[in-house]
Amino acid sequence: MAAPLRQLWPNEATDFTPWLADNIDLLGDALDMTFEEPETEAAVGGFSADLAAVNDQGETVIVENFLNPSDHRHLGQLITYAAGLGAAYAVLVAESFREEHRSALGWLNDISRDGFGFFGVEVAAWRIADSPPAPQLNVVVEPDNWRRAVRAADTGRKATYAKFWAGFLPRLHDVEPRWRGTKTPQLQNWMQFKSAAPGVKYVARVRTSTLTAQAYIDTGDDTTTSELYDWLHEQRHEIEAAFAAELLWNRLEGRRASVINTNYPNDVHVEDRDTWPTLWEWLVPTMARLANAIDPVLDRY
């Protein structure tokens, strides 16, 4: 049975928006997109969009959410924020959509150029017996032929990622036996590996033009995540000395997680398979160095 949305998220700004940012993969699954780290309350002039994220094609996607039936105000805000941020896609999330707003989003899709589109997504919470309510996102408006275009694009994009990771993993396993349990190449633009602490994962991530080795810090709780990141940051001189280079320390504003990054020094074009051996040659030892620098510190936490 359906559960009241306000039972899960009493307040849109302080409860639902942070939840959606932390669970951006659920929205990505609904839209058939893969998102990078989203920004909450993204500035647009004197206003702010609820969420702004970049998909794995390097395109900006903005999200405006509303825990009530759709209305003119939020539809107008969606268009304003999309224009202000130069977004490729704009997503309105609401409890339900009035027919006139479905029609408006459909009309916007009809008149939009290729490579731009509007989505309408209904959010619901369902409970089975006495179980906790489970969130559900359902796409009710999307650009024409979106699914067909995504399937065609994903065939190439996901296959590219899978082959990239298939070449990367054996090389990583030769250097890092502790990660030999991770054997399946992913279809996404990232892969994650265990650390010495459950609240930290090591992530290899290839974006449109960048390659990153990352420590991703998220204990599942705002307070303990912040405490762990702050503690690691206090040990940054020891960590960077062991890593033999400076690292990029980033508390992700508006999100629970924080990251410690190091980036490949040149532009990356993952579609160019001739460059893959060079990328692997950098990424394999860099992932190992990052783990070897941070894990001993985590062992003391």
Count CB neighbours of 56 within 10 A. Answer: 21
Look up residue 256 and give its two tokens: 């629970």
**pLDDT the model gives residue 132:** 63
| Cβ count within 10 A of residue 299 | 9
Q: State which amino acid sits at residue 237.
A: H
Instruction: Say yes or no: domain 155-298 is CATH 3.30.1460.
Output: yes
The CATH class given to the 5-144 domain equals: alpha beta
73 neighbors 112 (Cβ within 8 angstroms): no
Q: What per-residue confidence (pLDDT) applies to 64?
A: 94
pLDDT at 147: 65
Cross-strand pairs, 214: 203, 261
Q: In sequence order, what DSSP letters do the residues of 9-30 get, joined into one string?
A: -S-IIIIIHHHHHHTHHHHHHH
Residue that has been written with the tokens 């709780």 in this structure: 221
Domain boundaries, the chain: 5-144, 155-298
Distances (CA, A) of 189 to 56, 197, 207: 7, 24, 7
CA distance 166 to 102: 42
pTM here is 0.57
Q: What is the pLDDT of residue 11?
A: 87
Q: What is the mean pLDDT of each run of 10 residues along the chain (301 residues)?
A: 76 88 85 79 83 79 92 93 89 94 92 83 76 79 74 70 91 90 82 90 88 91 90 96 96 81 93 94 97 95 88
Domains 5-144 and 155-298 alike in fold:
no
Tokens 């990424």 correspond to what residue? 283
Burial class (CB in 10 A: 0-12, 13-18, 19+), 106: middle
Distance from C-alpha of 277 to C-alpha of 188, rounded to nearest angstrom:
19
